[in-house]
Copies of this chain bind each other. A is one copy, B any other.
């Protein structure tokens, strides 16, 4: 009857839309189910509970991001180039899915601490990925030898996140991907810290 894609994905996609359009607390399970075109109970055949939908949603999108990222990073040599790919991939992905951007930047943050901790677990993979790039760059002489990679990582993530959030709170009315270049340049100089 419905689309041929498996219900699991059908429900995740519905959750993104329902949350983006109604807000986190107003996206009741029944709304997600209706959006997905399934019965309320069907949700629970694929997810343990409502929280599990959100965790799965996040992991799913995160997996997609990592996939895209590794696809595009292939062949890039320098840390600088790799950082550009990171920013571009991030901005592109959220720019291409308005609903997802709203969900990750605004709505999912309203979830309780427990859920946010689980989400952070999912982020760990990307964090270490970035830190690896930073260490490479430092050892290759691209970055300052006394660069604190942990702090640098926080700068990179904080900057990207703030940039996207500001864009979303301004109703996504300007072009986000075109900011990747300037942002990247700033971050690069930040890492190139020298006395």
Q: Chain B residues near A161 (CB, 8 Å)?
A: 158, 162
Complex Cα–Cα for A23 and B109 (A): 14
* A residues apposed to B, CB below 8 Å: 23-25, 106-107, 109-113, 116-117, 120, 148, 151-152, 154-155, 157-163, 166, 169, 179, 182-183, 185-187, 189-194
Complex Cα–Cα for A157 and B152 (A): 14
Stoichiometry, copies per complex: 4
A-B contact pairs, 22 of them (CB 8 A): A24-B112, A106-B116, A107-B113, A110-B110, A110-B112, A120-B169, A148-B182, A151-B163, A151-B186, A152-B186, A155-B155, A155-B163, A155-B190, A158-B161, A158-B162, A185-B193, A186-B191, A186-B193, A187-B190, A189-B190, A189-B191, A189-B192
> A166 to B154, Cβ gap below 8 A?
yes
A19 to chain B, nearest CB (A): 11
Residue among A155, A157, A193, A194 with the highest chain B CB neighbour number at 10 A: A155
Binding site secondary structure of chain A: helix
Complex Cα–Cα for A146 and B76 (A): 27
The residue from B23, B154, B155 contacting A112, defined by CB atoms under 8 A apart: B23
Complex Cα–Cα for A195 and B84 (A): 16
Closest A-B pairs by Cβ, 3 of them: A158-B162, A190-B190, A158-B158
A188 to chain B, nearest CB (A): 8
* Contact A154/B159 with A106-B116, A112-B23, A193-B186 known, Cβ cut-off 8 Å: yes
Q: Chain B residues near A120 (CB, 8 Å)?
A: 169
Complex Cα–Cα for A169 and B116 (A): 10
> B158 to A160, Cβ gap below 8 A?
yes
